[in-house]
Structure 1
């Protein structure tokens, strides 16, 4: 063989050797013959996870870990030898002779082992695409051990947290000692099955946060789960007396997990590839001080909206008044009056029976006992008949919860939660029993007076009806009269139809006498309260403020307009109340409040991915199309903005607040007004400056709203910014620079959505053009958004896109009222 042939053979061998090395680098399995040595790694089949050796930040120690292979930062989700690090790069991960997966140092000492007692000679460990490292036999494929069974500080989708009260075994998350030391720290999180199962975060053995009980769908002590995590979590009975918690997300391309930090912070994080590649929190367990376990001690409730945040329960007083006044609440409260059972046990006077005091919408105390009672009355009886029972609660899906010890970790919610019934001595109750003879006597007297009054007013009513020029509204119980000239302007185009009227007393009961704890917000009309009817129906109650700039005209406009409208993307008016000086509107309750509460909140906006945002955009369009073209009336809303878009349980949008709306005739295209109403930043130029409004006015407002939804920024957030007057000016600047991607909220700016998002920006700019004739009608907007119209016209410069000089601004303020830069509705400008 000549020298040239030998050279060729050697070269071929080198190529084959390199190919094998390349092939070996992509394997996902460790076996007795195929091990990894620092710094080698294995990668899962779909290249989602990688296993190998790493060193934490500010440390030279080496550990075997699993991390995401498709992101730029090595973020371990599982660590093997976390308590026994390597101090050099001599480490090996392999299969031992007894079939266990082990980590060895350079001296062949075992630093970590899977500790399987029934190992196989042919054992293999495979890294799966869900991040699970599975040890099994190559012949039968049975799993002998999984990394998911020994979690570290990170809970990833498809992982399982388990706990079994019978065996005492559980698989909790355990924190690192520090960011540079992955050994087991002092914090752990897992299922506490000692009572009704819930997830608890411990500092050593002391609880510091908990979720509240599981009701079959959500943890009722985490209100955010009602709309965000309902489809992700599941807590199931494993059939052996234990419980298993799992979570799965439909979008597997979305990189997210739950992390327990070395400082005890627990929350959901996601990989933000658009924000220079970083992990960002989407949700945190501790939202306020009241989420900290036992913040107020026993027999006290915590309300982060109050000052101070802690208060003793009804019938209780501070255990140490001086400490309580200095805001050291850890010792909690004690009973003022002993219960009947206690008095009997102490040989005291029997006295009258105890009763229950109701505490509404709370995170129930920790560590309840479960009762088999399936009705609320039976639950109450079970507690009543047991002297050691001091409280009960009944919740659908959980049924009966009983407490026999201290009531600790009660948090007041503005919505959600459960009603807690606390056992109190008779003298501490409001509903004291009255002697039956007194009741009977009072009933007879009151009845006689009532009959006399009814006879008198019936006679007066008959006389008044003959000569009255009043208009009688449809009624439920009592006639309510409104002067005809008050509503005449609102009835030019439509006659008021039947609309349920609620009594003032009914609404007082529903809102707990307009309790500030039930207040949802404040608008130009007045305060809005959450309420609940006796049948369980939740409502939102808008109460006209006497100091409101909006009065009877807006009230009647909203009654007339919205009572005529029925559409899935319009908020539903359930009825109204007009008694004395009180004027109220009753709506269906929207659990997720308004769009602005999500869109402009740095943490909650991450819950609105692009699919959700586009669904909201489409819903608003459908609602506007109904108002402009498809309803029996033709309605111009005139105050379309993010705070007037309410979100239901599934984040579907509903247009609300029709107090500024105007009814158009079918042959009308535009109208003029001497009274400009609406919100600066959303008003079209012809309306703000000249008082002319039309369908295109609403289209302009929609365009502003669309750009806000895409950017995640308020149109008014640019005030004081030297680069642009408004979001419209900023969007126009980026459009002309060909850099429209800079406008898009980083939380939704994924390449797969860019084409659809950029089309929406294009449509938004078409909607906010200076002249109404250039803007598309809403039905055209829908076709553009759905790509039914492929070629979109080039937008012209938007209104309000150039910064005024200081002289112009001063002149404008001299001629008119100053511009508002908030979301308060303006009703006092005069059109030219």
Structure 2
């Protein structure tokens, strides 16, 4: 413990208090804080602790890891603000850059659940007040005890307390499994942390170099200065290292800065007005040359705009994800409709063929001595010359009538029902008893009139349901008198040598 501007009397009467936050505070008798452990971190950041990164442009504290798992002496790894760029937090291995955690984009708060399926939420807060630039972590009320620690291997771990095992459990680590180490995925590559296991991927518009066995990505289409290039937006990215910070630019101005410079390979923009920043309220970053050390994650990130050549292949790759799903969905829908239609049509054809076979084999209709022998549809088509207009005799309410000549040179009249001659769907409901009784009485009165009250006695000889017409009021009318016979006034019976009616 160091003493700064503390008199002997104050030192003699000072008291030390360990707060519930984990902060060890040394107070004078009047309550003034003389010293506190939160201002002098070692390798750990506790929730609520303000880790001061810089003050008035001067880099301040660093976390320093232990030498080993059981050796608390100064180790090789340290964590703090990058003194060269001043906007990103990094981990060093000695004097060498080991891992970049993030670049400040003006978002004062970012967070996520750890582990992913739990209700515990950890918030990372980066605050820039103009003079002070500091980092804080906080946790939700229902979360277990947690702390951020830089261990002796250079890994920044989020540790949560497990009350069942009475131990600290690492729920998030950077870098993880070798991924996230500075430049581990090579130029124009990135560490993908969106899946269950981190992987190295090439940025869109780039592909693995088959001539290089190491992790190197190359452009699908080379850039040509003076030609029309385009910028592709990548979301959820940690922006690359080696950027140039251009001040006081709007988004359009930032994009124009990169667009008119042939050496510019990418840009990123952030509006800092909501972050409480004093002075410049914008952050325009541009890159020239290779894009090194970036990653993609679900919990935080920003938009990175990369420059690509104006190639059809690049356009195809960038738009394939947007175009392919709706096209495939439409094709599948059309295929399903076609299959259903074909199945229904085939079912009807099979049913029709089975009915024709049944009728052809029927001794009742197919006998040679029958007055109404069965005639197949194919024979009817041949007899009417495929229902030629030259053979049409007339047109009725339910279809057209054609003249036909059968194989035995017998002339027949054939009615072909129209497509609209089916049952009216609006009247397909079962009739109630009163309506049916009304129809029956109407038919009976009609027959009584034909047989008794008419001037000419008429025998219908083909009375059936299809020859009973109904008006809107369900009043019956007897129709189709083509087979009717007229009897004389004193005639009681008549003879016929043909079977008629149904």
TM-score normalised according to structure 2 size: 0.52
**Which of 232, 237, 250 is 2:128 aligned to?**
237
Match of 1:378 in 2: 253
Q: State the alpha-carbon separation in 1 of the partners of residues 112 and 292 from structure 2.
A: 13
**Residue 296 in 1 paired to residue 296 in 2?**
no
**Residue 401 in 1 paired to residue 285 in 2?**
yes
Q: CA deviation at 1:182?
A: 0.2
Q: State the alpha-carbon separation in 1 of the partners of residues 55 and 289 from structure 2.
A: 20
Match of 1:571 in 2: none
Q: CA deviation at 1:270?
A: 2.0
Q: State the alpha-carbon separation in 2 of the partners of residues 183 and 155 from structure 1.
A: 18
Q: State the alpha-carbon separation in 1 of the partners of residues 330 and 298 from structure 2.
A: 21
Match of 1:122 in 2: 10
Q: State the alpha-carbon separation in 1 of the partners of residues 304 and 126 from structure 2.
A: 23
Query: Structure 1 regions of 5+ residues with no counterpart?
Result: 1-100, 102-113, 341-350, 433-507, 516-530, 532-540, 547-577, 583-832
SS of the equivalent of 1:164 reads strand
Match of 1:309 in 2: 200
Go from structure 1 to structure 2 and tell me whether the alpha carbon gap of 1:155 and 1:297 turns closer, same or farther (over 3 Å shift).
Answer: same
**Residue 186 in 1 paired to residue 70 in 2?**
no
Decide whether the 8 Å contact of 1:218 with 1:226 is kept in 2: no
Q: Deviations over 1:744-780 (max 9, x none)?
A: xxxxxxxxxxxxxxxxxxxxxxxxxxxxxxxxxxxxx
Q: State the alpha-carbon separation in 1 of the partners of residues 260 and 234 from structure 2.
A: 21
Decide whether the 8 Å contact of 1:211 with 1:220 is kept in 2: no
- Where is the strand percentage greater, Structure 1 or Structure 2? 2
Go from structure 1 to structure 2 and tell me whether the alpha carbon gap of 1:302 and 1:147 turns closer, same or farther (over 3 Å shift).
Answer: closer
Match of 1:272 in 2: 162
Query: Equivalences for 1:418-817 in 2 at 5 Å?
Result: 418-424=302-308, 430=314, 511-513=321-323
Q: CA deviation at 1:143?
A: 3.0
**Which of 164, 167, 170 is 2:60 aligned to?**
170
Match of 2:174 in 1: 285
Match of 1:810 in 2: none
**Which of 48, 51, 57 is 1:161 aligned to?**
51
Go from structure 1 to structure 2 and tell me whether the alpha carbon gap of 1:396 and 1:270 turns closer, same or farther (over 3 Å shift).
Answer: same
Q: State the alpha-carbon separation in 1 of the partners of residues 36 and 159 from structure 2.
A: 24
SS of the equivalent of 2:102 reads coil
Decide whether the 8 Å contact of 1:361 with 1:413 is kept in 2: yes
Q: State the alpha-carbon separation in 2 of the partners of residues 290 and 411 from structure 1.
A: 9
Q: State the alpha-carbon separation in 2 of the partners of residues 169 and 116 from structure 1.
A: 20
**Which of 201, 217, 240 is 1:365 aligned to?**
240
Comparing 201-210 with 309-318, which one deviates more in the overlay? Answer: 309-318
Go from structure 1 to structure 2 and tell me whether the alpha carbon gap of 1:366 and 1:185 turns closer, same or farther (over 3 Å shift).
Answer: same
Decide whether the 8 Å contact of 1:234 with 1:247 is kept in 2: yes
Q: State the alpha-carbon separation in 2 of the partners of residues 194 and 258 from structure 1.
A: 25
Q: Deviations over 1:115-141 (max 9, x none)?
A: 5255553122523312223344434x4
Q: CA deviation at 1:148?
A: 1.6
Q: Deviations over 1:570-618 (max 9, x none)?
A: xxxxxxxx56659xxxxxxxxxxxxxxxxxxxxxxxxxxxxxxxxxxxx
Go from structure 1 to structure 2 and tell me whether the alpha carbon gap of 1:414 and 1:190 turns closer, same or farther (over 3 Å shift).
Answer: closer
Match of 1:138 in 2: 29
Q: Deviations over 1:278-325 (max 9, x none)?
A: 22223223445543321122222344769983437636874xx65x32
Q: Deviations over 1:548-585 (max 9, x none)?
A: xxxxxxxxxxxxxxxxxxxxxxxxxxxxxx56659xxx
SS of the equivalent of 2:98 reads strand
Match of 1:9 in 2: none
Decide whether the 8 Å contact of 1:370 with 1:402 is kept in 2: yes
Decide whether the 8 Å contact of 1:391 with 1:404 is kept in 2: yes
SS of the equivalent of 1:378 reads helix
Match of 2:267 in 1: 392
Q: State the alpha-carbon separation in 2 of the partners of residues 402 and 143 from structure 1.
A: 44
TM-score normalised according to structure 1 size: 0.33
Q: State the alpha-carbon separation in 2 of the partners of residues 417 and 237 from structure 1.
A: 18
**Residue 256 in 1 paired to residue 146 in 2?**
yes
Decide whether the 8 Å contact of 1:212 with 1:219 is kept in 2: no
Q: State the alpha-carbon separation in 2 of the partners of residues 194 and 142 from structure 1.
A: 36
Match of 1:147 in 2: 37
Match of 1:635 in 2: none
Query: Equivalences for 1:317-332 in 2 at 5 Å?
Result: 318=209, 322=211, 324-325=212-213, 328-329=214-215
Q: State the alpha-carbon separation in 1 of the partners of residues 205 and 43 from structure 2.
A: 41
SS of the equivalent of 1:190 reads strand
Q: CA deviation at 1:184?
A: 1.2
Go from structure 1 to structure 2 and tell me whether the alpha carbon gap of 1:361 and 1:282 turns closer, same or farther (over 3 Å shift).
Answer: closer
Go from structure 1 to structure 2 and tell me whether the alpha carbon gap of 1:359 and 1:244 turns closer, same or farther (over 3 Å shift).
Answer: closer
Match of 1:438 in 2: none
Q: CA deviation at 1:236?
A: 0.9
SS of the equivalent of 2:9 reads coil
Q: State the alpha-carbon separation in 1 of the partners of residues 114 and 322 from structure 2.
A: 21
Q: State the alpha-carbon separation in 2 of the partners of residues 221 and 403 from structure 1.
A: 29
The structure having more radius of gyration, on CA atoms, is: 2
Q: CA deviation at 1:389?
A: 3.2
Q: State the alpha-carbon separation in 2 of the partners of residues 249 and 293 from structure 1.
A: 28
Go from structure 1 to structure 2 and tell me whether the alpha carbon gap of 1:267 and 1:356 turns closer, same or farther (over 3 Å shift).
Answer: same
Say what the alpha-carbon RMSD is for the aligned residues: 4.6
Higher RCO (CA-CA < 8 Å; seq separation 6+): 2
Decide whether the 8 Å contact of 2:113 with 2:121 is kept in 1: no
Q: CA deviation at 1:244?
A: 1.0
**Which of 335, 346, 356 is 2:231 aligned to?**
356
Q: CA deviation at 1:410?
A: 2.5
- Where is the helix percentage greater, Structure 1 or Structure 2? 1
Q: Deviations over 1:375-426 (max 9, x none)?
A: 5333211222445532112456676432245411223457964342223455
SS of the equivalent of 1:148 reads helix
